[in-house]
Structure 1
């Protein structure tokens, strides 16, 4: 327990909190609730694009110049300081470059998770410590609690099942969680908008960003091609038995689990099962053929427990919108997991993330390396 930490791990009035503010309604209300709780809140917005790239962040995404001004106005309304921190180099290296490299390697990366991991919860936590703040707070719909039995901080699902964001936060370490606050974890989105309206925030009716901020229009493949000058040659579309069914437009134009736009006529819908870089083949199959039963997960992070001493029956999500499903999770070494599902699953895409839960608590999670069967 740190010197400024209460016995239950919760903040005390007067402690200093750096609030990550995107310019949206969620982070606006997070700042509001922290000030109402008697904490000394300071808002901060990350500058992620230089002048030449600023056009990439349209109003459909997040992190635009308008978003910075919206966050600044909310802080002005609340009477708290606001800072803009320049993380353009970190964002390019850890988010945009990882995104491009992942697709070129046949993976399906999630840049929003990488932004959380390497920018908000690494670079911004480092800045928090440098400036002497006790906590970093965000507008994520998740909960944090100290388990008195294990002595570990737990990351738990947000109470609103439609907005729960614990899946994208599986990478948080114990030190991260010790210094994290999620003020919206017990609220619904409707609650948050009502609070923003009551406070008169200009962000109260602001739409949520749906696009990747650096690819607000057009396809991922077009963006990667322009940025890397890589060529995406066409290649064979094959079924899992190796029979050629057609020709694809270049592997980065497809994602594992995709159904529409494959370009092959069949008696039943086809799904993308694999993007095989070795021979530039797009592997497809019917629904029952495009599912997997076991996956290998690397770069595992353990949250509720320090490790898995034996295989555990848990609930697992392999993509954000999925309902968690029963699986047996086994730890193979320090950072590798094997996950065996009770029922075959579709769209277990290398580069995406598998997150295991016990009840509401995140037990562990990591990056899907490959499908085993």
Structure 2
């Protein structure tokens, strides 16, 4: 099989490429240049796709004796990930840029180019597993190491993309084993720290970064009953569940802290309230995709049981889901409705919910609304 190994410069992708070589595949390494600041250097474990990362990927490819290329995807990354991130915050939602990167860059733009060049599959260092059935259909499943499982951020992959996805780390029992293997192979990245935070905001100051790109206008902070509490410098810099940075001069009657319950960008209003009002029991999602063939019940619009996960490292919770057609202002839209068996706290529009049955990833949707059991947002005018 002709395999294009996406090499980020980290230990996982280096070992994944090595295993692809060991399996006898014809492997070519490629590093995606996503940053528009080519002089940027990695600081500790923040950020990725830097000059240092490119050099680390090259060294690993050289040790493996495979061809290595750097592809400039910076413009596509800016349009599909960075600009989308800004637009979502401007609309009062909290996006997940890693989901967009996997969807639109690594498994859309990269895979599209790989197939055009005659490759059979794209290999990455993600911890997830693709299972192929006798009829040729594919399913996406959690990795053996649940602590490192990355199936959540791959929930955006379609059945066609799964046909060309190759995850050599799927059955690895732990990250420690991957590092040990990298060390045994002599890879310099064996002890390189994992990247975290948003790669295009390497200092971790998301609010400061957004304030340079979104026009912030002072507006009202109100409580869950509609009472005016004070002013904010710009609603777009807040997110549901946030506690710090509200700077409300009037304490709550019970003396307990307040949390952001809702952001209303059209009204430039931030709604706050007690922590227990962050609990929701119904999620409605848009931009639905299925990781493999959809369940017959989902296609028929029938309710089906599942587990739902709303963050990369969150525990999944039991739920029941169904797909429905909703009409608003004469426009029909398909929605995924998920009723939770127990409440989730601090769920924000813009987050991704991924559905599971056992270890199998069913699909995903972008959360459009989250309903509280105890609070009706329409009470705030």
Alpha-carbon distance in structure 2 between the residues aligned to 1:123 and 1:18: 13
Query: Which residue does 2:68 correspond to in 1?
Result: 82
Q: Which of 243, 249, 274 is residue 262 of structure 2 equivalent to?
A: 274
Say which of 113, 121, 124 aligns to 2:99: 113
Alpha-carbon contact 2:128-2:167 (below 8 Å) kept:
yes
- 1:208-227 counterparts in 2 under 5 A? 208-217=194-203, 219-226=205-212
Greater Cα shift, 236-245 or 320-329: 236-245
d(CA) in 1 for partners of 2:204, 2:294: 42
* Match in the other structure for 1:158: 143
In structure 1, the partner of 2:353 is 354
SS of corresponding position for 1:123 = helix
Question: Over aligned residue pairs, what C-alpha RMSD do you find?
Answer: 1.8
Work out whether 1:245 is the aligned partner of 2:247: no
Could you tell me which of 291, 306, 319 is aligned with 2:279?
A: 291
Could you list the runs of 5+ residues in structure 1 that have no partner in the other structure? 1-14
- Listed as ranges, the matches of 1:15-26 within 5 Å are 15-26=1-12
**In the alignment, which residue of structure 2 is the partner of 1:317?**
309
Q: 1:65 to 1:335 in 2, by over 3 A?
A: farther
Change (3 A) 1:166 1:372: same
1:126-137 to 2 correspondence within 5 Å?
A: 126-137=112-123
In the alignment, the residues of structure 2 paired with residue 242 and residue 55 of structure 1 have an alpha-carbon distance, to the nearest angstrom, of: 49
Rounded Cα–Cα distance in structure 2 between residues aligned with 1:118 and 1:238: 37
Give CA-to-partner distance per residue, 1:75-126, whole Å, 9 cap, x none.
0011111111111110111011001111111111111111111110001001
| Alignment equivalent of 2:111, drawn from 114, 117, 125 | 125
Confirm or deny: 8 A CA contact 1:297 1:337 kept in the other structure: yes
Matched ranges for 1:35-184 at <5 A: 35-50=21-36, 53-55=37-39, 58-59=42-43, 60-148=46-134, 151-184=136-169
Q: What is the CA-CA distance between 1:371 and the residue it aligns to?
A: 2.1
Q: What residue number does 1:8 align with?
A: none
Residue of structure 2 equivalent to 1:7: none
Q: Which residue of 1 aligns with 2:370?
A: 371
The answer as to 2:323 corresponding to 1:327 is no
Aligned residue for 1:12?
none
Partner SS state of residue 85, structure 2: helix
2:189 equivalent in structure 1? 203
* Partner residue in 1 for 2:180: 194
Q: Secondary structure at the match of 1:255?
A: coil
Q: Is this contact kept in 2: 1:270–1:285, CA < 8 A?
A: yes
Distance 1:332 1:68 in 2: 45
* Offset of residue 243 of structure 1: 1.8
The separation in 2 between residues aligned to 1:260 and 1:147, in whole angstroms, is 49
Instruction: Assess if the C-alpha contact under 8 Å between 1:57 and 1:213 holds in 2.
Output: no
Deviates most, 178-187 or 252-261? 252-261
Change (3 A) 1:220 1:252: farther
Length, aligned pairs only: 354
SS at match of 1:194: helix
